[in-house]
Amino acid sequence: MKKQVVVTGLGCISPLGHTVESTWAAALAGTSGGGPITLIDPTLHKSRIAAEVKDFDAVARFGAREARRMDRFAQLAMAAAEEALADSALQITDSNRLRVGCLVGSGIGGSSSLIEQVKVFMNGGPDRVSPFLVPMMIPDSAGGLIAIRMQIQGPNWAIATACATGANALGEAAEIIRRGQADVMLAGGSEASVNDLAMAGLANMTALTNRNDDPQGASRPFDATRDGFLMGEGATVMVLESLEHAQARGAKIYGEILGYGSTNDAFHISAPAENGRGAVDCMQMALDDAGLKPEQIDYINAHGTSTPLNDKSETAAIKTTFGEHAYDIPVSSTKSMTGHMIGAAGAIEAMFCLLAMRDSQLPPTINYENPDPLCDLDIVPNQSRPAELSICMSNSFGFGGHNATLIVGKHQAQAN
């Protein structure tokens, strides 16, 4: 029997809100986080819109000295981790700090700090480059900084699997607990790449939407007129614990990590396999890990990026995996509201699954106006709706062919 892993704390900062509950309320209301870009000069770019985290003041939160030594992605990760730890009511002490770890990933890492310091180098030479550049740039800095701030000394590493990062981080953190290396893991993903190079590179590979006059309607997964994803940013961190540890301290439980799958398409560096073969294998791996049959899944939070290829491929993969049951499962894409948060996407979407079970409410896919016959599943169009949910699946697929699927469920005590 493998150890059961449960979620006891949630933390989130997103384009929809600075907390878990404000983000979730906005998602259920069908609110878009899209808007004109403010973090850089948008006039230089083809895609001039994004889903930014609004009104985030890192100096007020962490102090000027600490804030300037952290890239924005690490600042957001820290904010989410603080909320998650507080929500869990877990006290870090000398007796448990070696059994508490951290696995927070980022698809791109501190790219904004890198770009800024390249400019400094070009204008002033090597002596002007910040001594904090490397710690700010590397993707594992968020986890390291969280560990220092919270004084946790268990396993600490980072994952970078592009858009699958957040889901992989949660899945691998659960495995660390299952194999007995830790009792508790802070896990999730963070991204802050609304910067000149990332926006230019993604636009030039035609990944981004060009609906610059309609930022709130730009992300439209599964709609026939979708033209690319809306860049997003933010962070989500969860506290995962072994069931025994959580019960021993009387922790509240949001749900259980039931299954995890991870595969690779081995097809193309950025495009998904048209038949979704790698995604099919990934979903099946997660079902097998959970010991579940396809018909036991009540809801799927889709990867649903709003790109022409992804949404078509994912729909095909879901049909292959679930057969006729695919038409009975609600399948929504919350990226229609948050934009594509890259390394944080899988984590926030798993969080939405847990909250959907808690509140018996499905988040919608907004901006659905023109049906695509190739994307003909129940995508919960435009409005949230009530639904009794016990087991949910979350899909995340990333550049490089990375696929990650998580299955979360109500813990038995919750279900009863």
Residues assigned a catalytic role: 163, 303, 340
287 to each of 247, 282, 389, how far by Cα in Å? 26, 9, 17
Alpha carbons 110 and 310: distance in angstroms, whole number: 26
Asked if 348 and 84 count as a contact pair (C-beta separation under 8 A), the reply is no
How does strand 234-242 pair with strand 5-13?
antiparallel
Other CB atoms within a 10 A radius of the CB of residue 153 amount to 16
In b/e form, how buried is each residue of 268-283, taking b as 16+ CB within 10 angstroms?
A: eeeebbeebbbbbbbb
DSSP tally for the chain: helices H, then strands E: 15, 14
Other CB atoms within a 10 A radius of the CB of residue 115 amount to 16
| Long-range contacts of 224-228, Cβ-Cβ distance < 8 Å, separation of 24 or more | 224/370, 224/371, 224/372, 224/375, 225/369, 225/370, 226/306, 226/307, 226/308, 226/311, 226/372, 227/306, 227/308, 228/47, 228/306, 228/307
Identify residue 324 by its one-letter amino acid code. Answer: E
Size of the chain in residues: 416
379 to each of 31, 188, 227, 303, 369, how far by Cα in Å? 16, 25, 18, 12, 12
CA atoms within a 13 Å half-sphere pointing along the CA-CB vector of 243: 13
Tokens of 412: 């038995």
Alpha carbons 405 and 260: distance in angstroms, whole number: 6
Asked if 408 and 7 count as a contact pair (C-beta separation under 8 A), the reply is yes
